[in-house]
Amino acid sequence: MFKGWNVGLIIFTYILVILGTLNVRSGLVSSVHSFAQSNIGWFFLGFLGFMILFSLYWIVVRYDQLRSKNQIDSFLSREAAFMLNNVLFLLIAAVTLFFTYLPVMSELVTGQRMTVGASFFEKFNGPLFAALLVLMGIAPLTMWYRTSIRWLRRMTFGPLVAATLAVVILFILDVRNWLALLGFWIVTFSLILTIFEFIRPGYKRVRNKGESPFKAVSGFITQNRRRYGGYIIHLGVLVMAFGIISTELYQQETQIRLTRGNSVPLGEFSMVFNGVERYPGPDDLEITEASVDVFKDGEFVRTLNPRTELYTRTQQPMTIPGVRSTFTEDFYVIMINWEGTSADAATFRIYVNPLINWVWAGAFIFLAGTLVAAWPDPAEDKIVAAERSRRRIAISGATGD
């Protein structure tokens, strides 16, 4: 039933990629990539128009093959869950697109360009992403055609209780931001449901076939790569969600001017400014490098060297941060200003980003899931080859060749 949807989404995604390139290359929407602005924008506009027409042509030509029997038995079915998933993704894309073009539209209507900041995107897309995360957990439980409420209730009761308990523990541990608690509740709920998708069949194989847990898990993943690749992708997204919620809501930052030997506290950390050294780098680089000692809970952790690099010929400055990165948090320091040897003082901006590396870890899990799902499956190839051969015989039989 999703043949048309799949083709439509693939075309839409590709057109959006071209549109995004057009935006930044033409200067229509200002972005960090605007440095690449050039006359090539017109080429992209032409190409975008061509791609839209080309895609529409083939959709019309192949309409009979793309058309499928769009029927569902129940709102509580896997078909409906897939459909809602598509709708949520499209809504997020539409809201993002609307906010991206709003400055341009406001300039056309009022003559003044308005700004739509990052926080505004988050305000509207946040709830849609939350809905997507809930769906990500529940959708695998739904069955084709129809799922009974009783079955869903039975399968979600345990994870609901466990997620609620996790949030209560976080509350006891002094997490009082209701948005964070809600976010962690949703992510934990979906995470438990997704993990159960691995535990349930794995346990059955261990019990029925006497396999080792590792062999059982790898066995059913190999047998159905696309499905379990998809679940691994879900795991990656949920791990990323943990990182994003933590960093968005619990990031600590400060900006301060320090003289040599002075320190600044930030959360569990403190930082002591040791001094600045200026020296020539390769080519025309002039490097101004600070030395700061980082302490956590009063214990020395390491020395960082945030620096600025100035390309003297072009007078192009670059800021290189000092970063102490762990799985639980990043300590990140930028030297904003150095007042010269006479003052022996510098201004620093410091961030503590909790669980930021979870976003990276989630991205790698996501990538692993994609590889598992997309890896060629010889058994499937055989099925497809047999199907093709069957159709060829049927066609040649019908035409009398």
Partner 1 sequence: MIPSRIMYHALRFTTYVLFGIVFLFLFSPAAAQESGRAVTDDEVNAIAKELYCPICESTPLDVCPTQACKDWREVIRTKLAEGQTEAEIKAYFELQYGARALAEPPQSGFSLSAWIMPIVLVIAVLFGFIYYMRSIRTPQSPQASGVDESGTLVQDPQIQPEPDQDDYVARIERELRDI
Q: Where along the sequence are the contacts to partner 1 (CB under 8 A)? A: 1-3, 30-32, 68-75, 77-78, 80, 83-84, 87, 90-91, 94-95, 98-99, 102-103, 106, 109-110, 112-120, 124, 128, 143-148, 150-151, 200-201, 204, 220, 223-224, 227, 253-257, 317, 347, 379-380, 383
Phi/psi of residue 146, nearest 5 degrees: -160, 140
Q: How far is the CB of 69 from partner 1 (least distance, A)?
A: 5
| 228 and 365 Cβ atoms separated by less than 8 Å | no
Q: Which is nearer to partner 1, 47 or 252 (CB)?
A: 252
Q: Which is nearer to partner 1, 268 or 380 (CB)?
A: 380
| 293 and 303 Cβ atoms separated by less than 8 Å | yes
262: DSSP letter: -
Phi/psi of residue 202, nearest 5 degrees: -65, -45
Q: How far is the CB of 343 from partner 1 (least distance, A)?
A: 16
Q: Which is nearer to partner 1, 126 or 281 (CB)?
A: 126
| 375 and 228 Cβ atoms separated by less than 8 Å | no
Q: Which is nearer to partner 1, 188 or 288 (CB)?
A: 288
Q: How far is the CB of 361 from partner 1 (least distance, A)?
A: 27
Q: Which is nearer to partner 1, 76 or 245 (CB)?
A: 76
Tell the burial category of 219 from Cβ atoms under 10 Å away from its Cβ (0-12, 13-18, 19+).
middle
Helix (H, G, I), strand (E, B), or coil: what is residue 256? Answer: strand
Q: How far is the CB of 132 from partner 1 (least distance, A)?
A: 13
Q: Which is nearer to partner 1, 18 or 116 (CB)?
A: 116
Q: How far is the CB of 380 from partner 1 (least distance, A)?
A: 8
Cα(212)–Cα(217) distance, rounded to whole angstroms? 9
Q: Which is nearer to partner 1, 219 or 275 (CB)?
A: 219
Of how many residues is the chain composed?
Answer: 401
Q: Which is nearer to partner 1, 184 or 228 (CB)?
A: 228
What are the residues whose beta carbons fall under 8 Å from the beta carbon of 91, sequence distance 6 or more?
A: 128
Q: How far is the CB of 104 from partner 1 (least distance, A)?
A: 11
Q: How many CB atoms lie within 10 A of CB 212?
A: 11
Q: Which is nearer to partner 1, 116 or 134 (CB)?
A: 116
Cα separation of the two ends of the chain? 32
76: DSSP letter: S
Q: Which is nearer to partner 1, 252 or 274 (CB)?
A: 252
Q: How far is the CB of 169 from partner 1 (least distance, A)?
A: 31
- Residue 4 tokens read as 């048309």
Q: How far is the CB of 165 from partner 1 (least distance, A)?
A: 27
What are the residues whose beta carbons fall under 8 Å from the beta carbon of 199, sequence distance 6 or more?
A: none
Cα(10)–Cα(41) distance, rounded to whole angstroms? 23
- Residue 313 tokens read as 């010929």
Q: How far is the CB of 248 from partner 1 (least distance, A)?
A: 13
Cα(347)–Cα(292) distance, rounded to whole angstroms? 12
Cα(159)–Cα(188) distance, rounded to whole angstroms? 8
Phi/psi of residue 71, nearest 5 degrees: -140, 140
Return the closest-CA partner of residue 79 out of 156, 24, 144: 144
| 306 and 292 Cβ atoms separated by less than 8 Å | yes
Q: How far is the CB of 3 from partner 1 (least distance, A)?
A: 7
